[in-house]
Amino acid sequence: MKKTEVLVIGGGVTGCGVLFDAAQRGFKTILVERGALSMGTSGRFHGLLHSGGRYAVKDPDAARECIEENMILRKIIPHCVEDTGGLFVTVPGDDPAFGDTFYRACQTAGIPVEELSIAETLRREPLLNPGITRSFTVPDGSVETWEACRSLVETAKDYGAEIMTYHEVVDVIVENKAVKGAVVKNVITGEEVTIEADMVVNAAGAWGGNIAQMAECDVTVYAGKGTMIAMNYRMVNTVVNRCVKPSDGDIIVPIGSVAVIGTTSVRVPDPDNYAIEDWEIKLMMDEGEKLVPTFKKFRALRAWAGVRPLYQEKAAGPDMRDVTRKYALLDHTVHDGIDNMVTITGGKWTTYRLMAEETVDLICQKLGTERACRTADTLLKNPHHTGHHYYTLGQRMDMVERGELDGQLICECEIITRPQIEENLTHNDWNIINDLRRDLRVGMGPCQGGFCTYRVAGIMHEKKSLDARQTNKALVDFLQERWKGMRTVLWGQHLRQAKLDEGIYMGLLGLDKLPDELSGRTTERLGEIETEGFYEVGESVEPSLEKHK
């Protein structure tokens, strides 16, 4: 049994923001999350720090919120932000006149915008389509979501907050039309814990409707699937958008050592069960060529999808792009006649701080206290101690050359050393290599963990004194997660890379020969490649569209 004043359900960036804000205002606060921090939608997007430009024409309120919060986040979490800048370009086939509408809309929303000459645009980004006819600059950027969530919770801990990851809500306790807390289950050990709370915040995103239903409340959150592809090369250093109304495959975001193209927008009935379709991969690759004509010559590393939590009171139509990206804050006393619970849903990653501020303002009102928000002026902790300045791509290499990041190099793609991994394991309660991926970017580079994962497993085995079964389970589970994202883009050079990885882990290490009780495998056999819809090795082509047609 635990007792707290505020219980936050959901460990995405919104939930972490609420946790920090409430803790800083002096509330005893606990956050519960069924997986790792930022494991849901917050960890499954393209990493864009919005200027608001994408919504300036169609949703000016959302655009205004984005640019205001963009400027704040640059001050309070600079170490999580890469100041890439943004371009909106008109490619052949797009309406050049839309640029005038876009420019005026940005000015109205307060978004700094400037039209750039084509010559200057191509000087900055030489791989862009030389046929572009117009170009505008805006203050877009990219963000490291896991780093930001970690900064939020580490700072919140300084104010007494408690974080319970890998704890799933199995029941919301309701008595006499009032929420009294929740029952959570440790998904690893199976142990259940009851948490009594004066106020419960439902920040579960696309899963928020399920939490609300447990509390006898009615909240309809539409799950809007967006599929993205990470390419093996950072072909642009600026966020590049098509200068059109938001559509599929109209943005490339440079983040870390890769570039991400996105996204589709498809409504799915279940945020936990959805497929990445061949047509989505085909569409992304084709649209990428309109922005960068050599796009298909680069190697697609993996595809993944996130589910946007989209909320609106009236029934939504089939087109998820018609649903507003503004957030909704619901007081369930007013909305459903159930006291002591609020739901915060919708919105954008960029507006998480504002969403948290308004949520905690409502909590204060409901609990009869006045406590000012200070999050817009509080510099968050940097867990990796890399300084309070913008992230840069060469930052880790610079630290290595200056002797600030020493020790054996374990992940060459992302420049991660043995001491970094060992320090992380010291503070990590779970034997999960994916947690290291989220914290340090292990296995996120061009080899997708092919050369570093077995090294990491060995370090984990030694550092945490694991037995063979625990170590093998951690290794296989990580490789399975990587495989799920790779299998949809296996053609040409990437299929060759996958076969090399298969040779390492099966031909040399024999992971497919381990008995199930030793490896801990619960999913399909690693390396069992589904070839339906794909061509043979050596052909640089994309997936077939036959199933979609």
Per-residue tens of pLDDT for the chain, all 549 residues: 999 999 999 999 999 999 999 999 999 999 999 999 999 999 999 999 999 999 999 999 999 999 999 999 999 999 999 999 999 999 999 999 999 999 999 999 999 999 999 999 999 999 999 999 999 999 999 999 999 999 999 999 999 999 999 999 999 999 999 999 999 999 999 999 999 999 999 999 999 999 999 999 999 999 999 999 999 999 999 999 999 999 999 999 999 889 999 999 999 999 999 999 999 999 999 999 999 999 999 999 999 999 999 887 655 445 544 555 579 999 999 999 999 999 999 999 999 999 999 999 999 999 999 999 999 999 999 987 777 899 998 888 888 888 888 899 999 989 999 999 999 999 888 899 999 999 999 998 888 999 999 999 999 999 999 999 999 999 999 998 888 899 899 888 888 888 999 999 999 999 888 876 555 443 344 444 333 333 233 333 334 333 333
pLDDT one-digit tens code per residue, 27-54: 999 999 999 999 999 999 999 999 999 9
Kind of pairing, strands 2-9 and 192-202? parallel
For 260, what's the count of Cα atoms within 13 Å in the CB-facing half-sphere? 23
Question: Is the torsion defined by CA of 169, 170, 174, 180 positive or negative?
Answer: negative
Residue 362 and residue 199: Cα distance in Å, rounded?
Answer: 11
SS (H, E, C) 191-248: CEEEEEEEEEEECCHHHHHHHHHHCCCCCCEEEEEEEEEEECCCCCCCEEEECCCCCC
Number of neighbouring beta carbons within 10 Å of residue 417: 19
- State whether residue 457 is helix, strand or coil: helix
Q: Which residue type sits at 286? A: D
Question: Six-digit token pair at 478?
Answer: 């990580």
Residue 38 and residue 146: Cα distance in Å, rounded?
Answer: 6
Residue 42 and residue 17: Cα distance in Å, rounded?
Answer: 12
pLDDT one-digit tens code per residue, 290-331: 999 999 999 999 999 999 998 876 554 455 445 555 799 999
Collect all residues with Cβ–Cβ distance below 8 Å to 127 and sequence separation of at least 6.
235, 236, 292, 293, 294
Q: Are 151 and 380 in contact (CB under 8 A)?
A: yes
Q: Are 340 and 219 in contact (CB under 8 A)?
A: no
Question: Six-digit token pair at 10?
Answer: 């959901």
Question: Six-digit token pair at 87?
Answer: 């371009």
Collect all residues with Cβ–Cβ distance below 8 Å to 382 and sequence separation of at least 6.
79, 151, 388
Residue 299 and residue 218: Cα distance in Å, rounded?
Answer: 45
The length of the chain in residues reads 549
**Helical (H) or strand (E) element with 345:** strand 341-346
SS (H, E, C) 206-221: HHHHHHHHHCCCCCCE
Exposed, middle or buried: residue 30 (CB in 10 Å: 0-12, 13-18, 19+)?
Answer: buried
Ramachandran angles phi, psi of 497, nearest 5°: -60, -40
Angle, CA 394 vertex, CA 390 and CA 399 arms, to 5°? 90
Q: Are 74 and 50 in contact (CB under 8 A)?
A: no
What is residue 514's predicted lDDT score, i.e. its pLDDT?
82
Q: Print burial letters for 333-356: b (CB count within 10 Å at least 16), e (below 16).
A: eebbebbbbbbbbbbbbbbbbbbb
Cis ω before 263 (30° cut-off from 0) = yes
Number of neighbouring beta carbons within 10 Å of residue 7: 31
* pTM, full prediction: 0.90
Q: Which residue type sits at 208? A: G
Question: Six-digit token pair at 363?
Answer: 């909590």
What is residue 324's predicted lDDT score, i.e. its pLDDT?
55
Kind of pairing, strands 167-175 and 178-186? antiparallel
